[in-house]
Amino acid sequence: MTRDPMTAGPSDILDLDALLSGEELALRQRVRDFTAQRIKPDIARWYEDGVFPVELAPELGELGVLGMHLEGYGCPGRTAVEYGLAAMELEAGDSGIRTLVSVQGSLAMTAIHTWGSEEQKQEWLPRMAAGEVIGCFALTEPTAGSDPSSMATYATRDGSGDNGGWILNGAKRWIGLASVAGVMVVWAMTEDGVRGFLVPAGTPGVTATPIGQKLSMRASIQCDLTFDGVRLGPEALLPGASGLRGPFTCLNEARYGIAWGAMGAARDSYEAALAYSQDRLQFGRPLAGYQLTQEKLVNMLVEIQKGTLLALHLGRLKDAGTIRPEQISLGKLNNVREAIRIAREARTILGGNGITLDYPPLRHAANLESVRTYEGTDEVHTLILGQHITGLPAFR
């Protein structure tokens, strides 16, 4: 294992970089440079104006981070650890940008790659890996969030036999990127249980409306989606997915990436607070020299190092093919929870300046409110772990 002396320092007391290969460090550096050059200079403006920088999609494709853990069909075929490192660096820029990569790669592309027909994979995956086509993943509904089994969106058969198509009716909510998506992965109830459908943009009867007045994820898009008598051909059905195992398999991927990404937002908040505390003089000396400030910084760093180590452990398990859903739940629950605490604590070191967009912690904290809610709330992951350790499901 090689170690990059440039990255060791006040953010890596445990020398976790020594656990990464040269290839992993190089990939991380490429994504870190991208974040520094393409996200950080503009993120405050995007956030304030509520702008999703859609032009980043092909650049992220070029960077090789869209569907990066998938093999074939133009996908980069990188490891789970490399995907995690990329998520961490992108979320150090903004959770909204990491969300683009998650929705595209972990959710929409994983659904097509895992459950799609050969024709569906050929049609969509190469262009999605290149960022030419954006995908979305429509599971959550206005009245079905934590409990997708209660979804009301319904697909009925249009005609009979294998040549028959489908008619789709219903509504989805909080669907990331739906208004800019070229293809939507839509989960709907059928007479045979939950099935997945690929709905191309522009299909008559589909309406995507961005949700406004958000206090979180302002540099990203989340939509209300409606399906009003949408006619789909038989080729729209994802043939391999039957039941909730279809979408949940994709959620595992996204939740895994979040366990890494949240530590990126936490690290960026900590580093902003550390730098500020070293420069800012109060009562004639730097804030960093006060015991209360040092305690805050130390508590942040301890949790960042533990959370990063946890994410890396999950990544090694995933690359070994042995990771289990409850392990991912532990990582997502812990790392997002700690990241929010860290971002909020970092804000206190920045004082009044911390409530502006000149500094990242409060933007990260606001974003992380969404991150703790999507892909399984804190409560859902707590109950998944509770069921695992007691054998008793407490969801219902």
Site for ligand TGC in 98-137 (CB under 6 A): 99, 103, 137
Q: Which of 175, 272, 310, 339 binds ligand TGC (CB under 6 A)?
A: 175
**Conformational region of residue 168, where left means phi above 0, alpha means psi within -120 to 50, and beta covers everything else:** beta
By CB under 6 A, which span of 49-57, 122-130, 246-254, 348-356 interacts with ligand TGC? Answer: 246-254
Instruction: Name beta bridge partners: 187.
Output: 196
Residues contacting residue 385 through CB under 8 Å, at least 6 positions apart: 326, 329, 330, 333
For 202, the token pair is 């522009």
**DSSP summary character for residue 31:** H
To the nearest whole angstrom, how small is the minimum distance from the Cβ of residue 146 to ligand TGC? Answer: 5
379 binds ligand TGC (CB under 6 A): no
211 binds ligand TGC (CB under 6 A): no
Hey, what amino acid is at 363? R
To the nearest whole angstrom, how small is the minimum distance from the Cβ of residue 23 to ligand TGC? Answer: 29
324 binds ligand TGC (CB under 6 A): no
142 binds ligand TGC (CB under 6 A): no
Site for ligand TGC in 36-75 (CB under 6 A): none
Q: Report the C-alpha gap between 180 and 54 in whole angstroms.
A: 8
- What ranges in 182-290 are assigned the alpha helix state H? 245-279
Q: Between 51 and 244, whose beta carbon lies closer to ligand TGC?
A: 244
Query: Does 375 qualify as catalytic in the annotation?
Result: yes
Q: Report the C-alpha gap between 250 and 105 in whole angstroms.
A: 9
**DSSP summary character for residue 239:** T
To the nearest whole angstrom, how small is the minimum distance from the Cβ of residue 161 to ligand TGC? Answer: 26
Q: Which of 167, 244, 309, 385 binds ligand TGC (CB under 6 A)?
A: 244
Q: Which of 149, 156, 209, 348 binds ligand TGC (CB under 6 A)?
A: 149
Query: Could you say which of 24, 123, 253, 375 is catalytic?
Result: 375
For 374, the token pair is 């999507």
Measure CA of the first residue to CA of the last residue in the chain; give whole Å: 47
Closest alpha carbon to 364 in 189, 217, 183, 241: 217
Q: Which residue is nearest to ligand TGC (CB)?
A: 176
376 binds ligand TGC (CB under 6 A): yes
Q: Which of 76, 84, 176, 315 binds ligand TGC (CB under 6 A)?
A: 176
Give Cα separations from 12 to 7, 168, 225 (angstroms). 8, 51, 43
**Residue numbers annotated as active site:** 375
Give me the residues that bind ligand TGC (CB under 6 A), please.
99, 103, 137, 139-140, 146-149, 175-176, 222, 243-245, 248-249, 251-252, 325, 374-376, 380, 384, 395
